[in-house]
Amino acid sequence: MRRDGGNGGIDWAAPGYVVGGIGTILVAALLVPFRGAIATANLALIMVIVVVLAAAVGGRGAGAVGAVVAALSFDFFLTQPYLSMKIESADDVETTLLLLVIGLVVGEIVVLARRNRRSAHRGSDVIARVHRIAELVAAGAPIDEVVHESERELVGLLALRDCIFEPVPVTRPLPRLERNGAVSGVAHRHHTPTGLALPAETELPVMGRGRQLGRFVLVADARVGLTLEDRAVAVVISDQLGAAMAADGRRVEADERRPRG
């Protein structure tokens, strides 16, 4: 069991594989005393329950392992000849194959359901982050407070190691997170199963009234992949800060007085 760097949660894959691999064998062995009293089909349904549990805990891989091991354990412990991989009855052959197929299908359904729940929760979290910054801007909060909260929301949204706002002028060139969510200024892009991983440091420009007023330096975790939606929302947060800074006459006027090269 380990911490998932992408969302801060716990990765339950290992316990799921234990349930799918060892758990199905143990359940099949425990059912041995009942194999004459309970119909074979009902024994198979009990095995399916274990596969569902494995998929619910550990995901698709654990569910698939559970389905295969459940079918083999069912064959070995619960069909004649017992303690053998041979099956004498055609009905038992069909039951074993159905156990495998049902286990795989149910495991996939469980994984899809979990993914949908996570997506719904993720969407609500993203909306809440944008809304919190919008409330600060609408309430006329001090720019420093909006900057601080924007940094905090970007760290949470993008699972960053750190986020630092730098006002203009900026001199150190960095790869850039563009307005369309693409990353420019890098020779090679690193992709993970969950999306594009940002470079070690990436700039997110803060724009207001058509000019750059500053940037966020995003200090990324190379293990974390970000979806295009994640990156687009980060741009929205920076735009909210840009709007607040542009409305702050002192900041804009100071920028206008700065000599141009």
pLDDT digits (tens, 9 = 90+) for 108-147: 777 777 777 776 677 778 888 899 999 999 888 999 999 9
Q: Are 206 and 246 in contact (CB under 8 A)?
A: no
Are 53 and 95 in a shared domain? yes
Query: How far apart (Å, rounded) are the C-alpha atoms in residues 85 and 93?
Result: 11
Clarify whether residues 156 and 103 are in a common domain: no
What is the average per-residue pLDDT within 144-170? 93
200 occurs within a structural domain? yes
Identify the domain containing residue 223 by its residue range.
140-257
Please report, to the nearest 10 degrees, the dihedral formed by the alpha carbons of residues 63, 68, 71, 72 taken in order: -140
CATH code for the domain of 249:
3.30.450
DSSP symbol at 18: H
**Domain assignment present for 215:** yes
Rg (CA), the chain: 27
Give the phi and the psi of residue 196 in degrees, each rounded to 5.
-80, 130
217 φ/ψ angles, rounded to the nearest 5 degrees = -95, 110
Q: Percent of the chain having pLDDT more than 90?
A: 33
Please say which residue of 101, 116, 131 terminates a domain.
116
In a shared domain, residues 102 and 38 = yes
Asked if the structure places residue 122 within a domain, the reply is no
Q: What DSSP element (H or E) covers 253?
A: helix 249-257
- Asked if 179 and 86 sit in the same domain, the reply is no
Say if CB 29 and CB 69 are below 8 A apart.
Answer: no
Query: 151 burial class (0-12, 13-18, 19+ CB within 10 angstroms)?
Result: buried
Q: Please report the pLDDT score of residue 35 as a whole number.
A: 86
Number of domains the chain is built from: 2
pTM for the structure as a whole: 0.58
List, in sequence order, every residue forming a beta bridge with 206; answer none if it has no partner.
214
Query: Is there a single domain that holds both residue 239 and residue 199?
Result: yes
Judge whether 219 lies within some domain. Answer: yes
Return the minimum-mean-pLDDT range out of 4-8, 141-145, 175-179.
4-8
231 and 180 part of one domain? yes
Do 94 and 176 sit in the same domain of this protein?
A: no
Work out whether the CA dihedral 14, 20, 21, 24 comes out positive or negative. positive
pLDDT tens for each residue of 192-230: 877 899 999 999 999 988 899 999 999 999 889 898 888
Q: Which of 55, 83, 116 is the last residue of a domain?
A: 116
